[in-house]
Amino acid sequence: MKDNNGNHWWEKTVEYAFVLNFLPSPGAAFPLGGKSEKEFGDLLMSVGTEYRLFEFKAERKNIQDEKEKWGFTKENLSPECQGKLHEILQKTYPHIVNHEAHKAHWIVYGVPGKTGFELAAQVYSADTKYAQRLSSKEELENLDHTSYSEMLDYLFRMSEIRGNIGDGTSGLCIVGVNGEEGLTISLSAREFRKIRDNKPNQNEDNVEKFPQPIISRQKMR
- Residue 31, pLDDT > 70, answer no
Per-residue pLDDT, 153: 93
pLDDT tens digits along 118-142: 999 999 988 767 788 898 888 988 9
DSSP string, the chain: -B-TTS-B--HHHHHHHHHHHHS--GGGPPP-SHHHHHHHHHHHT-TTEEEEEEEE-SSGGGGGGGGGGGT--TTT--GGG-S-HHHHHHHH-HHHHTSGGGGGEEEEEEEE-SSSEEEEEEETTS-GGG-EE--SHHHHHHS--B-HHHHHHHHHHHHHHH--TTS--TTEEEEEEETTTTEEEEE-HHHHHHHTT--TTS-GGGSPP-PPPEEE-S---
Of the listed ranges 7-16, 42-51, 160-169, 180-189, the least confidently predicted one is 160-169
Instruction: Please give the model's pTM, rounded to 2 decimal places.
Output: 0.78
Is residue 122 within 8 Å of 128, Cβ to Cβ? yes
- Residue 107, pLDDT > 70, answer yes
Confidence tier at 190 by pLDDT (50, 70, 90): confident
Residue 92 burial by Cβ neighbours in a 10 Å radius (0-12, 13-18, 19+): middle
216 or 166, which is more confident?
166
Percent of the chain predicted with pLDDT > 90:
25
Residue 29 — φ and ψ, nearest 5°? -60, 145
Per-residue pLDDT, 200: 41
Cβ count near 82 (within 10 Å): 11
- Residue 108, pLDDT > 80, answer yes
Report the pLDDT averaged over residues 60-65.
89
Confidence tier at 52 by pLDDT (50, 70, 90): very high
Give 146's contacts (C-beta < 8 A, 6+ positions apart): 50, 51, 52, 100, 101, 103, 104, 154
